Amino acid sequence: MKLTADYHMHTPYSDAKSTVMENALRAKELGLEAIGITDHGFSHVMFGVRRKDVPKIVAECHEAERVTGVRVLIGMECNVRGVSGLTCFREEDYETFELFLAGIHVMASYETWSDYRLGWESWWRTLLHLKPSRSLVKDTTQAFINTIKRNPVDVITHLNYQCFADVTEVAKCCRDYGTYLEISSKKQHMTDEELDKAVQTGVRFVVNSDAHHTDRIGDVLLAEEQILRVGVPLDRIDNIDGRLPTFRFAEYKKHL
Ligand SMILES: [Zn+2]
Ligand SMILES: [Zn+2]
């Protein structure tokens, strides 16, 4: 399994150390064709990208692409902000950004008070090793499904890391809408059983590093171990072995 492109990494514009250029240079060293600069969404309370920094990010991505020859996509890891499917992007952001990731993060600003349970209740239940209630699973699953239905999301990041969705239902929705399910190499998020259930739905995957430092760019070791253990067919992963994904957001933008 050889990575073609790494579509999830951070920079000092959210909570990481290495710059856009440093990430791109490392990607070039590794022979990657493309990377996605995907800092935390505007609604992340601690590390969200500040709107005033967007022009700088855009300029840095263009410069890094020019210098390295690696395709550098201007992305964002948006927050799933509620059961309604609200994320961080406004319609006018579609023009600027090229890669649309979405995931649940505890420190997001949620749409309503009850939506905070998606982050906070999930977080403390994970911490205390407590099982989720049925209603928490239902709300979390619905939040992902509505996020995928309402927005042209390219990738759902680290599904079920510190949250509890019905993986089969989310994967079916991803499959139907052309959204990728991420197999993260930063931490194992789905259990082996959950990943196996996702495979059964026919959903397609990308593997990503979620690197917060250059030394982890392109590192998919942890994901690879799980992929082999579960027996995920490699032809269902679209950013390895010379393949590049067809992203939904880019397709959507063609018709704007
Ligand atoms: Zn994340
Ligand atoms: Zn991330």
Domain of 115, CATH number, reads 3.20.20.140
The reported pTM is 0.97
What's the 75 CA to ligand 2 centre distance in angstroms? 11
Instruction: Collect residues with CB below 5 Å from ion ligand 1.
Output: 103
pLDDT at 256 over 90: no
Q: How far is the CA of 174 from the centre of ligand 2 (A)?
A: 19
Give 90-136 pLDDT, tens digit per residue. 989 999 999 999 999 999 999 999 999 999 999 999 999 999 999 99
Residue-range definition of the domain harbouring residue 53: 5-254
- Which residue reads 């993986």 in tokens? 167
184 C-alpha to ligand 1 centroid (Å): 10
Residues with beta carbon < 5 A to ion ligand 2? 77, 210
Rounded-to-integer distance, Cα 123 and Cα 209, Å:
22
Q: How many domains does the chain have?
A: 1
Q: Where are the alpha helices (DSSP H) in the chain?
A: 20-30, 54-68, 116-127, 134-150, 167-177, 192-201, 221-230, 248-254
CA of residue 67 to ligand 1 center, whole Å: 28
Q: What is the pLDDT of residues 157-197, one digit of tens each?
A: 999 999 999 999 999 999 999 999 999 999 999 999 999 99
Q: Which ligand is nearest to the CA of 158?
A: 1
